[in-house]
Structure 1
């Protein structure tokens, strides 16, 4: 169910699912009841008890939403959560992908309480700086010492794009300029995300594998009609 999972700080865990967890998205033509059941099993495996992961309606935009408690999925491409009460805890968060870059971030405030976030960084999101905006919102919420986990996504050797598109994106984020393993223009979105995190002073603790090359992960480029796996962050006792 979990491709990778770790307690990254005391009481805070980060994970990325694989195809064993099944499709977790409601927008790909899957049976909604079965998707809800998979999400519930995932929450049980994470030990959330009565809590639930907050998913979002991802639109390749620039909006970062602050989440105080679970509710209807916001239309956003990043979410930030922090304790809003003295004895409270951040809302567990989830980001879904099938080639785009899932970014999970964890920091702590001056009282050592967690501030957590997730971001969906596809080509438009990388170009518009969604990750940098997420870090800025975390800091606005008091986050210090932020670290990032960059999950599985399509790599620069596989993400072929037209020459003009490569030039347009690389003009904004030079680190994305790349070529496929067969010599055609491509974009290295993970490299772009890492460059943005580095510029924001955020250390990267984990880098995932290529989704197109891995049979244990969903890939839109490889299969077109496919599910979505998730990047997750949550707190626990």
Structure 2
């Protein structure tokens, strides 16, 4: 599941359902929003695991409730009813699951993390936890689209070299990146066949938070868990 901007208590420019605790919003508002989300999932507040994301490639396997996992950009668990949360506002939230084995993963794949391999590292951690490659399904959540993700040509070339399929052209005809396209290709090369992509662009869709469209702003949350 992925949230939108609506349904929370945060005030502008974080209005209203900001779930990021690192963007300058009132901590009490963020805490209230997180409680609302936990209640809506039916899991309870202590069953949602949040990360302090640093655009890295570290993957942490969790077995039970924790207040927060520090300096990590991906989580894996085989514990039932333990939700893994990713917060984003243009980066790609990657949700993975092997329902048969009862193993799930969640990765924060921004440009740097995607380029450096956070997604394949998450898949590897899932396999170590008992998942089977053929049974893994993946959802790439809302993120900035290639149409709206303009970058310098040298950066586009650098990312393309590490994440083939991600270089593109923006609506203005300038060099751009479509990280989700690159991640789809990466997953297919790994042997993952069941891949879905949420078509929404965070920059274009005003119902979503977008750092590129206007910072400071809030963060969406994408969650995955196994019953």
Cα deviation, residue 50, structure 1: 5.8
Q: Does 1:224 align with 2:215?
A: yes
- In structure 2, stretches of 5+ residues that fail to align are 8-16
Supply the distance in 2 between the matched residues of 1:73 and 1:92 (Cα, whole angstroms): 12
What is the CA–CA distance in structure 2 between the aligned matches of 1:165 and 1:130, rounded to whole Å? 18
Shift of 1:232: 0.5
> Is 1:81–1:90's contact at 8 Å kept on the other side of the alignment?
no
1:7 matched to which residue of 2?
A: none
Of 111, 118, 133, the match for 2:121: 133
Cα deviation 1:133-176 (Å, max 9, x = unaligned) = 10111011111201001100001111000111111111111201
Q: Considering only aligned residues, what root-mean-square deviation do their CA atoms show, in Å?
A: 1.3
Question: Aligned match of 1:56 in 51, 54, 59?
Answer: 51
Output aligned runs, 1:73-222, within 5 Å. Answer: 73-74=68-69, 75-83=71-79, 89=80, 91-108=82-99, 112-144=100-132, 145-202=135-192, 203-222=194-213
Give 1:52 shift: 2.7
* CA distance in structure 2 between the aligned counterparts of 1:212 and 1:63, rounded to whole angstroms: 27
Partners of 1:90 and 1:114 within 8 A in 2: no
**Equivalent residue, structure 2, for 1:45:** 40
- Aligned residue pairs: how many? 214
Q: 1:169 is paired with a residue of what secondary structure?
A: helix
In 2, distance between residues paired with 1:101 and 1:179?
18
In 2: Cα distance, 1:27 partner to 1:224 partner: 13
Runs of 4+ aligned residues of structure 1 deviating over 3 Å after TM superposition are none
In structure 1, the partner of 2:3 is 17
TM-score (norm: length of structure 2):
0.90
Match of 2:12?
none
Tell me what 1:10 maps to: none
Unaligned runs of 5+ in 1: 1-14, 84-88
Distance in 2, Cα, partners of 1:184 & 1:117: 34
